[in-house]
Amino acid sequence: MKRMTVVFLAFLFVFAGFAFSKTYIVGTSADFPPFEYVQNGRYVGFDMDLIQAIGKVEGFQVEIRDMSFDSLIPALKSGIIDIAIAGMTITPDRLQVVDFSDPYWSADQDVIVKKNSDYNLAVLFGNNKVGVQTGTTGDLWVSDNLIKTGILKHIVRYESFIYALQALINGEVNAVVLDSPVAQRFAQTQPVSIVGVIITNENYGIAVNKGNKTLLDMINDGLAKVKASGQLSQLVDKYFGK
Ligand code: ARG
């Protein structure tokens, strides 16, 4: 073979490689340890590793976009992102506008207060201020069950759980309602304690735009393979193990 031909073929190979491995834009809200958070300027966590692992078995690359949790569904709808993975609960309302993968985790809602404060579950009543992340199931639960009924006077919505946690520690709100696995992580690493559990029986799924069946099938297939290979339980040990 002539040298030029060899060089040409080598180029073709490299380009074909790029062309065939598609990159999907994956949205998250990186304020939710151990599912997604920032460490040394990188997006890490259970969800981040999970979507990478699914991409690997299904032959696609992922590029992470961090945004506020309540922007994820609009971003899926408008095509700014292809996939959302953010400890997102599969709810009937969300199912109207996006499609979800098979569930990969389950959670309830926990009530956390500042450590060594005198608050108990009664913090959810009366004149107290309860913080939530905007648009989350915690926000919906507090709004529907406590605010609309007049049981609680004040809800404070934060774009990020990082801000909600900060506000709790600074005494700007009396409690925060958030997903149990994340509350447990914060209780281990921050000066906060859990004073109650609200059983909501939530399941997390990976979301795609409604009707994007090709991508959804690929994600479900990848999820099943990552489970079957034992990789999923390795991730559980990595992020939830002692
Ligand atoms: N599971 C809750 C929901 O779907 C909270 C998710 C918040 N996720 C996050 N990455 N901040 O509404």
Burial class (CB in 10 A: 0-12, 13-18, 19+), 11: exposed
Determine if ligand 1 sits within 6 Å of the CB of residue 32. yes
Residue with tokens 């479900």: 220
Domains 2-104+205-240 and 107-202 share a fold: yes
Q: Which residues contact 124 (CB under 8 A, 6 or more apart)?
A: 111, 130, 142, 146, 151, 152, 175, 177, 196
Q: Whose CA is nearest to atom 12 of ligand 1?
A: 136
pLDDT digit string (tens) for 121-133? 999 999 999 999 9
Question: How far, in Å, from the CA of 86 to the mean position of ligand 1?
Answer: 6
Residue 37 has pLDDT above 60, yes or no: yes
- CATH fit for domain 2-104+205-240, picks 3.40.640.10, 1.10.490.10, 3.40.190.10, 3.90.1150.10: 3.40.190.10
- Residue type at position 218: M
Closest CA to 24 of 82, 79, 106: 82
Mean pLDDT of 26-52: 98
Do the Cβ atoms of 115 and 191 come closer than 8 Å?
yes
Task: Indicate the pLDDT class of residue 82, thresholds 50, 70 and 90.
Answer: very high
User: Following CA atoms 141, 146, 148, 150 in sequence, which dihedral angle do they give, to the nearest 10 degrees?
Assistant: 180
pLDDT for position 7: 59
| Pocket-testing residue among 134, 179, 202, 204, ligand 1, by greatest number of atoms within 8 A of Cβ | 179
pLDDT for position 14: 53
| Pocket-testing residue among 89, 100, 105, ligand 1, by greatest number of atoms within 8 A of Cβ | 89
Instruction: Report the greatest alpha carbon distance in the chain.
Output: 83
Task: Indicate the pLDDT class of residue 28, thresholds 50, 70 and 90.
Answer: very high
Residue 24 has pLDDT above 60, yes or no: yes
Residue 13 has pLDDT above 60, yes or no: no
Whole-number CA gyration radius for the chain: 21
pLDDT digit string (tens) for 137-155? 999 999 999 999 999 999 9
Residue 18 has pLDDT above 60, yes or no: no
Mean pLDDT of 206-233: 98
Residue 230 has pLDDT above 60, yes or no: yes
pLDDT for position 21: 79
Per-domain boundaries in the chain: 2-104+205-240, 107-202
Question: For the chain, where are the E strands, in sequence order?
Answer: 22-28, 37-39, 42-44, 60-66, 83-84, 98-100, 105-114, 126-133, 152-158, 175-179, 192-204, 207-209
Percent of the chain with pLDDT over 90: 90
Question: HSE (CB half, 13 Å, CA atoms) of 31?
Answer: 20
Do the Cβ atoms of 207 and 89 come closer than 8 Å?
no
Residue with tokens 């699914």: 54
Which CATH superfamily, name and number, covers 107-202? Periplasmic binding protein-like II (3.40.190.10)
**230: alpha, beta or left, given left = phi > 0 and alpha = psi -120 to 50?**
left
